[in-house]
Chains A and B, each alone.
Chain A
Amino acid sequence: MKLSGWGRYPIIEAKVTAPRCIADISDLIQRGNAIARGNGRSYGDSSVSVRNTIHMKHFNRMLSFDAESGQLVAEAGVLLADIIEVFLKRGWFPYVTPGTKFVTLGGMIAADVHGKNHHKDGSFGNYISWIDVLTSDGSVQRCSKLDNADLFNWTIGGMGLTGVIVRAAIRLRKISSAWINQRTLVADNIKHAIEIFEQSHDASYSVAWIDCLKKGSALGRSLVMLGEHLDADGVPTKFRRSPMLAPSKPKRIVPFSFPNWMLNVHTVRIFNAVYYWRGKRVSKQQIVDWDSYFYPLDALLGWNKIYGRRGFVQFQCVIPLHNAERGLSDLLEEISNARTGSFLAVLKRFGQQSSNFSFPMEGYTLALDFPVNNKALALLNKLDSITLKHDGRFYLAKDSRMSQEVFHLSEIRAKAYRHYLNNAYGKTKFMSAQSERLDF
């Protein structure tokens, strides 16, 4: 069947099987070229294998929860949305969450996702107690920091090439309300935005939205949004009786693909201006429910169709701290000159990270999406070069078009990963369209 990631680009004709038991997965793996797929929320071709895509939708059971330690054991296909639905009302929330809750547990591990709190709490991998991986030899291996540590460390952020993640134990965080206290600060340009981030290390959550069309002294004009979990007594009076229950918002559905001409420099300019002035106008301090705060786009089901039939590509890189200001300025300059619409440009400070193959490193990460067209693809190649020049690297869960050369220049760790994969459990039987394209 035709398969793609969230960006709906590229669309690949792939063989997909949805096994129902471990033995079936094991059989599928033996055919080779296998990759597990969760809810298909990586943007490009990470969770697609032309010959052998293993859909994990039937592995969606929660197995146990320890209310003392907050440890949840669940199968890999469980959605983060379900975890939140079940545990938020009992006072628990994931330590780390990406910008959508429609991802699976297995996907979050394989991409070692990060959230707005990376500068403080690191990536998702920090909160995994153990993982059960179905490896090339057809056996399920339990791995953790202490046991089978190599498998554990390569599986976290390993993009599914160590095996099929079937189960994992993760830790949830105790919180006292479903509400976030959000503070919005205006940054006049990129330098100012970085200053604000550097002064906001104590904030639990921080993220900035950048208007990519601004130039010159306003290059990188942005709204920096800081957030804190609210105590139960800070919850709006109306909701104080059950502080874990925030009102559920109506979901809107994007019914069809928008025509490609709809997203252009003018419509994006209008959107950006409205967003910016609204951000400036609302009181600097705001109480926001968890869903609106962490997952604003989830309220718009199928928002990927806004980019039209041709789909969209996302670019996300990280620039190491010492090069951040220069690198980000170069990137933003290139983007604003290209005048090709980017709906969302997100900037985030990463904290320290030690891991084998995960994306984050201490520095700044910039994420943007573009509708797929020649102009945008050409721009992305330029952004690749700028990132390389400043010793940055790229987020594989977002990538759908990078070249092999760029990848290997940015990712010196790929060799060690390949070495591990070739030696452990016999030759690897895993491959995604992405790992084939980038050769890792």
Chain B
Amino acid sequence: MRAADEALPISHREAGLPTPLVGMLLFIASEVMFFGGLFAAYFNARAVSFGEWGPPAGAPELEILPIALPITLILVASSFTMQFGVWAIRRGDQRAMRNWTLLTLVLGVTFLLGQVYDYTTLGFGLSDGSFGTVFYTLTGFHGAHVFGGAVGLTILVARARQGQFSRQNHVAVEAISIYWHFVDVVWIALFSTLYFLR
């Protein structure tokens, strides 16, 4: 047994996931539970509606065209472009990463604008019964999370402009890309629930 004064100096783990990434994964776990609570509200409201579930009388049924399906495809595409950006910076190609991230940002903003436009065509609001409430709360909070992701993407583009990412040092890109994929997965669940499961 070594004596006390031969004790090892402090160092932290170099192995395993980088700490900021661990933090982001844990944060995403909490966000999954948050959306879980909102989905629970949706399914509970649907269960107690006893068959009368959907937009209130006078408003059209939810349709996947002309808006919902295209913006879904745009958001899914943005996940691909985000991942191309991550692969680029893992190769050390900062310029490609910057361009893919910028494209992801553009696609994300397009999604948001499309969502807002969709809201104007729906014919019902938050205060029009329980369906309206859960619809706008779920899609609204999802949109807010997309907006937060867009802020993150903007920061990535700005920092890439300043040359702050390299092959060894780009944990922020990895973390934000995981967040962006999460936002996309939530949308796929939401889209399926609202437009297919009904």
The judgment on whether A and B are partners is no
- B residues lining the A interface (CB < 8 Å): none
